[in-house]
Amino acid sequence: MAELTFLEQLDALVEAAVSTLEAVRTPEALEEARIEFLGAKKGKLKSVQKQMGQVAKEDRPVAGKRFNEVKQAIESQFEQASQRVQTLDVSDSDVPSGEIFDPSLPGNTCRLGHVHPITQTIEELKDIMGRLGFTVADGPEVEGEWYNFEALNIAESHPARDPLDNFYLATANSNSGMPRLLRSQTSTVQIRVMESTPPPVRIISLGRVYRPDTADATHYPMFHQMEGLLIDHQVTMADLKSVLRLFATSYLGSEVNIRFRPSFFPFTEPSVEADFRWHDEWIEFGGAGMVDPNVLEAVGYDPEQVTGFAFGLGIERLCMRRHAISDIRELYRNDVRFLQQF
């Protein structure tokens, strides 16, 4: 009777072990099953083995043989379960229990980022102006009043220097105690280049500028400008108009007419507003003019020997016209649904 009880226990044990191991889908469940059935101290197989001494001596060969068969069956089932677990995606949140990973199925495509439309525009402007012979110059965004105003012929009484129209930095004073501010224009780079470079000069500077404007569809307190500067002998307004026309045609992709409207800027004389005619519509793109003799003298140039022109274009405005964007704020909301269109 003891022999039958022992064999029945073995049959029940192998049935339970097979059933449990077939249902295993995670490493945690596999380890729990190993401890339950094959544990060295408290495993069920070990517990049944301890009862071998209660089997009659003449029945022990049969009982021992059956025990070994059961042990091998459980160990074999454990190995199969272990291999199966290795092939499963065991993520609790993504894969329901029982789902098997199929490596032949197409994977999930990772969403890749791409270059921001403003950066795309900047790189394209560099390429266009580079083909026209202009090199790129950079400068600091925190400037002193000399570079941002005085060297550009902007008098101390000029309203452009009003603290309410600039971002002055209360804690960022120079060693001489002079006030510092976030640059309001990239013309500051032109002064730095002319101070250190003899004529001829042919540069563009592209970067962020800052003005305390209220954000709306066409204004933003931080935006980007492209400033161009050409200094050489016998430079005229005709050269300025030719460069701007070539630039506009290259950027807008079709023959573009250009017109100048009289204007005033302290650092150019004469000064003009440049308009481009595109898709039967006149579009204002920026200011330009011949470099004022006072600016040339401020950097050590002789206005009797050299002349030049300068122009400034809003990069956001160019980007918005190219892509038919109606609100500048869309460029800085970081809305992936909007940005992924470019």
Long-range contacts of 118-127 (CB under 8 A, 24+ apart): 118/224, 118/315, 118/316, 118/319, 118/331, 120/319, 120/342, 121/315, 121/318, 121/319, 121/322, 122/206, 122/224, 122/226, 122/315, 124/251, 125/204, 125/206, 125/226, 125/251, 125/315, 125/318, 126/204, 126/206
241 and 298 inside one domain: yes
In a domain, 100, yes or no: no
Assigned domain for 105 exists: no
Cβ atoms 228, 116 nearer than 8 A? no
Of 230, 232, 183, 191, residue with least CA distance to 207: 183
Q: Please, is 208 exposed, middle or buried when counting C-beta atoms within 10 Å of its C-beta (0-12, 13-18, 19+)? A: middle
pLDDT at 171: 67
Residue 92 lies in a domain: no
User: Does 315 share its domain with 189?
Assistant: yes
Same domain, 37 and 122: no
Tell me the per-residue pLDDT of 314-325, one tens digit each, with 9 for 90 and over: 999 889 888 889
- Note the pLDDT of residue 301: 94
Q: Are residues 168 and 219 in the same domain?
A: yes
Q: How far apart are CA 11 and CA 7, in angstroms?
A: 6
Q: At what angle do helices 117-131 and 237-252 cross, to 10 degrees?
A: 130
The domain containing residue 58 runs over which residues? 2-86
How many domains in the chain?
A: 2
* Contact residues for 325 (Cβ-Cβ < 8 A; gap 6+): 319, 331
Kindly report the CA angle at 336 between 335 and 338, in degrees rounded to 5? 70
121 lies in the same domain as 38: no
Cβ–Cβ < 8 Å for 187, 310: yes
| CATH number (domain holding residue 225) | 3.30.930.10
Same domain? For 190 and 323 the reply is yes
215: in domain: yes
68 inside domain: yes
Q: Which residue, of 86, 108, 125, is where some domain finishes?
A: 86
For residues 197 and 320, membership in a common domain is answered with yes
72 and 209 together in one domain: no
Tokens standing for 118? Answer: 């403003």
Q: Which residues pair with 201 in a beta bridge?
A: 231
User: Is 291 within the bounds of a domain?
Assistant: yes
pTM above 0.75, yes or no: no
Q: How far apart are CA 321 and CA 328, in angstroms?
A: 11
Angle subtended at Cα 314 by Cα 301 and Cα 336, rounded to the nearest 5 degrees? 140
Provide the pLDDT for residue 175: 53
| Per-residue pLDDT, 96 | 55
Give pLDDT tens digits for 58-71: 777 887 888 888 88
Q: How far apart are CA 66 and CA 240, in angstroms?
A: 101
Q: How does pLDDT run across 101-139, given as a tens digit for each residue?
A: 778 888 888 877 788 999 999 999 999 999 999 999 999
Q: Are residues 122 and 268 in the same domain?
A: yes
Residue 299 lies in a domain: yes
In a domain, 97, yes or no: no
Residues 182 and 257 in one domain: yes
pLDDT attached to residue 174: 52
Tell me the C-alpha distance between 255 and 253, whole Å. Answer: 7
User: In this predicted model, what pLDDT tens digit does every residue of 208-226 receive, in sequence order?
Assistant: 999 998 899 888 999 999 9
Q: What is the pLDDT of residues 250-278, one digit of tens each?
A: 988 777 788 899 999 999 999 999 888 87
> Are 312 and 231 contained in the same domain?
yes
Cα distance between residue 78 and residue 72, in whole Å: 10
